[in-house]
Structure 1
């Protein structure tokens, strides 16, 4: 899947316009590596969105002169990049920043989705468990509520980990000069120093 996804992305990049890449259930690490590769061909990260079962990675042409030069050089140096030929080595120094931006872009929505995905089955399982061991509706609901509350307590470490990861990502981005600004839909996002002043 990894190599096929790279080639698919490169074929889209060759068109020269904005790209929306359906990346399936790729990890943040994989998505950051794809973006690093796209940067070698004149593109930059725009956004990451999560659907029901897959991520969509949004990339836009990087219009800065140095990015245009690098893209022309790499398309010339790696003419078979879209067909399985050799690829340039990405700049791994940017990996942590890209991953932090992606985590930051998805953090709140992802955490809410996880809570919903876990909470609904827990409620149903708790009701089933209460029905197996309870004698009347009062005992069924009591057992179900206790089971659900216990499961929610077990989810707290996941919530704490998510908050800590979000704080670390924000601190890394802000230390690198990124600014948190609302986008057109009101979602707070970290943008690079050049974009924040534009």
Structure 2
């Protein structure tokens, strides 16, 4: 962060709370959360320099009060409400990485191997094929439940973000995102970073 350049950090199996705490700490040192994406089996979080005067002042103050922060020293305390807002943004962004159609396609592909494996374990020949198809269909029947839960989460977090003054913006690829109060997306020149 001392370089002042945008950061792209990958992590395996992070929780939204850990990502939110990371982004909140970055805010304390003059950065802003920009996006979260899937990169292989890891999560990629992007934070960018925040050019606003409040961010610069906060960063200077925290660097003065916590000079050893970059070397494992004491860090500033995080405001719980800032972490919760970032958790809402990250959760919403994770929930909009794929469209419902893409989610169904990915689920269909993802359940082939488990269904085929179970079918082969439980039978042989034509019986294995029938069992694999039945198991695949049974697992695919759960996809609408997952989609409904995902929609409910997106609706809940969208309400939290709107209440905090965030504005919905649709990216050129059709992905819905929420931008901070003031209407400028984080990133160079106010563009969303993907």
Same fold, TM-score > 0.5, yes or no: yes
RMSD over aligned Cα atoms: 2.6
C-alpha distance in structure 2 between counterparts of 1:115 and 1:167, whole Å: 22
Q: How many residues align?
A: 182
Q: TM-score normalized by structure 2?
A: 0.81
User: Per-residue deviation at 1:116?
Assistant: 5.0
Structure 1 spans left out of the alignment, 5+ residues: 1-12
Higher relative contact order (CA 8 A, sep 6+): 2
Q: Is the 8 A contact 1:129 1:143 kept in 2?
A: no
Q: Report if the CA contact (8 A) 1:40-1:74 is conserved.
A: yes
Q: Distance in 2 between matches of 1:118 and 1:26?
A: 21
Work out whether 1:143 is the aligned partner of 2:131: yes
Structure 2 unaligned spans of 5+: none
* Offset at residue 46 of structure 1 (A): 0.6
Contact 1:180 1:189 (8 Å CA) reproduced: yes
Matched-pair contact (CA < 8 Å) for 1:25–1:55: yes
Q: Higher Cα Rg: structure 1 or 2?
A: 1
Verify: 1:44 aligned to 2:32, yes or no.
Answer: yes
Secondary structure of the residue aligned to 1:26 is coil
Given candidates 131, 153, 156, the residue that maps to 1:165 is 153
Residue 51 of structure 2 aligns to a residue whose secondary structure is: coil
Aligned to 2:113: 121
Determine if contact 1:20/1:59 at 8 Å carries over to the other structure.
yes
Partner Cα distance (1:166, 1:116) in 2? 22
Which position in structure 1 is the counterpart of 2:173? 185
Choose between structure 1 and 2: higher helix proportion. 1
Which position in structure 2 is the counterpart of 1:79? 67
